[in-house]
A = this chain, B = another copy of it.
Amino acid sequence: MYFSKLLSAVALCSSASALYVPGDADVNVQNKDQTPTALPEEPLNGTAYRPIMHATPSQGWMNDPNGLWYDTKEEVYHVYYQYNPADTVWGVPLYWGHLTSKDLQSWEDHGVAIRPPRNDSGAFSGSAVVDTNNTSGFFNDSIDPAQRVVAIWTYNTPESETQWISYSLDGGYTFIDYANNPVLDLNSTQFRDPKVIWHEESQKWIMTVVLSHKYAIQIYSSDNLREWTLESEFKNHGLLGFQYECPGLAKIPVSKPANCEMQLKDVSYPVKNNTDYVWVMFLAINPGGPQGGNFNQYFIGDFDGKKFTPFSEQTRFLDHGKDFYAFQGFYNSQFKDSFLGIAWASNWQYSAYVPTNPWRSSMSLARKLTVRPYNPTPESVQLVLNSEPVFVPEDMEFNSNFSSWKDLKLTSGKEEVFEFGSTPLGAFEFNLTFTANDTGLSKHSLGDFSIYLEGAKDPDEYLRLGYSTQAADFFFDRGNSKVSFVRENPFFTNKMAINMEPWEILAPGVKVFKVRAIFDVDILELFFNEGTAASTNTYFLTEENHPASLKFKTSVDNVFTVNELSLRQLTF
């Protein structure tokens, strides 16, 4: 048994006084000090790649989000994460790092929250619950019911993976390990990532946890978080990849798109009840994702307290980009009409080589999820998770200069340039509604509407995104960069695409699309048609070569109209 101690808060974006300490993290790590020392990457600086809104550790390595919970008393979000403070690559001992935020865009770093007992081991991924009614017996009346936090995590050693629980008596800043850990031991080396929720209907705790190499999500129930009963397995579903990781079960509110009247009863397969929620099973795989590396999928169905039953046998993408993994939902949040969660915004294929310093990886923005009926074709109504990013203040003003560009017809001979109008800092957002009319367009024509974001200091570097009527896909190209990592790493795919069906069809061949794009220094989150689909991808132009404008180009005439564009720099 061990006790974690409270680290004094460290401002996340402070300049880290990192020292280079030679040695291989896998072999030599003996770092028992809770003030981590990071190893900078060799020639590059990398410090300017830190996103403004996306959660990052002050220094060191970060992967999966863990133990997400919301303190309803203090109105604070707690984000723990897989943390190697001793290096900018993964390694043991692996800790739970700890960040907090009130607005989901500025983050306070509290260092290590949970540490593993041995230096060759890890406090691997897991979740947190608020044990309001003290079912665990860990709390007395001095602990506010809103802060009775229990973390459930995987203790990984070279010999085994078992499930441990730890509780906090100080509102989630330090944890005490339960004396009789582990609470689950199957004598397996591939048994991990417990996610626990409270199941109101059966008045039980429910844990999903994977037998990674058996492609099985096990579902356990418990009255007290200490003793667990196996209820069922959800096995060999979806894309298997090499292994299952980070499962999660969530009761998610049903919403309706603004422009339609579809109901659950209209869905093209039997849906259990026409109620105001459905159950969603999240599942991550790595490696073996369809675009290479890691991938997050989900299933929609019903959960009866023992067994998850999907409504249909589909494989769905939680996000279509390369940098979105290990999604986890928050226990509690301030949002009652949606489900809040966060993912790791990187890819195991290349996460150890990205040129950031003295840390590696960020989280995604927090996302509000709902399930909604939607018709990808006129003949089918499907259920889909709808994603909406959240950060505060959401009501930050958009640049009013852009109102004059409403209903702008694009022509092949003319570039339309929208300048930000102030010093570019790398964080900005645009919302775009455009119409494509491809009736009569030659099949020889690409029919693209391209948005170029050139670096202000060196326009030879640029991001390109856009839409092609012929491919019916939205695209993002992050390959036009002078950064050697971008050019040379064989897994940093340049051109990503996502099928985007129209938000609205005004007439045959006349289609309306909506895109929301949030850029944050080295990460782009795209949301299509008010969130029907999302795509998250990192990018690296030369440091501080931030774009200062959007440049709209098209190869065709009389096809594209910009109906509405709003743009703002995000400078909090």
Contacts and interface: CB of A to CB of B under 8 A. Distances in A.
Given A382-B240, A489-B446, A269 B495 contact: no
A468 B442 contact: no
Contacts of A43: none
Interface string A376-409: 1111101000000000000000000000000000
Interface in A327-363: 348-350, 352-353
A211 B379 CA distance: 9
A422 to B, nearest CB: 29
Contact of A291 (B240, B290, B352, B490): B290
A91 B496 CA distance: 27
Contacts of A87: 443
Contacts of A442: 24-26, 89
Interface residues of A, number: 78
Contacts of A348: 471
A490 B472 contact: no
Contacts of A24: 442-444
Interface stretch (A200-208, A218-226, A307-315): A307-315
Given A379-B190, A479-B479, A495-B491, A349 B471 contact: yes
A210 to B, nearest CB: 12
A490 B450 contact: yes
| Residue in A268, A287, A292, A448 whose Cβ sees the most chain B Cβ within 10 Å | A292
Interface stretch (A68-76, A139-147, A230-238): A230-238
A571 interface: no
A137 interface: no
A237 B313 contact: yes
A168 to B, nearest CB: 31
Contact of A473 (B349, B443, B494, B497): B349
Contacts of A450: 490
Interface in A401-440: 440
A528 interface: no
Contacts of A498: 292
Given A242-B501, A268-B236, A446-B353, A380 B91 contact: no
A314 B450 CA distance: 36
Interface secondary structure of A, over-half rule = loop
A444 B312 contact: no
| Residue in A490, A493, A497 whose Cβ sees the most chain B Cβ within 10 Å | A490
Nearest to A188: B379
Give the number of copies in the complex: 2
A173 interface: no
Given A350-B471, A380-B215, A290 B290 contact: yes
Contact of A380 (B213, B313, B446, B448): B213
Nearest to A41: B444
Interface in A294-314: 310, 312-314
B490 A466 contact: yes
A470 interface: yes
A491 B230 CA distance: 46
A314 B317 CA distance: 14
B490 A493 contact: no
A239 interface: yes
A490 B477 contact: yes
Contacts of A215: 268, 380
A442 B213 CA distance: 25
Contacts of A317: 290
Contacts of A235: 268-269, 312
A512 to B, nearest CB: 17
B495 A238 contact: no
B470 A490 contact: no
A27 interface: yes
A521 B471 CA distance: 25
Interface of A: 24-27, 87, 89-91, 190, 211-215, 235-243, 268-269, 287-293, 310, 312-315, 317, 348-350, 352-353, 376-380, 382, 440, 442-444, 446, 448, 450, 464, 466, 468, 470-473, 475, 477, 479, 489-499, 501
6 tightest CB-CB pairs across the interface, nearest first?
Answer: A292-B497, A290-B290, A213-B377, A288-B499, A89-B443, A213-B379
15 contacts: A25-B442, A26-B443, A27-B440, A89-B444, A90-B443, A213-B377, A235-B268, A235-B312, A240-B382, A287-B499, A290-B317, A446-B489, A468-B490, A479-B479, A493-B496
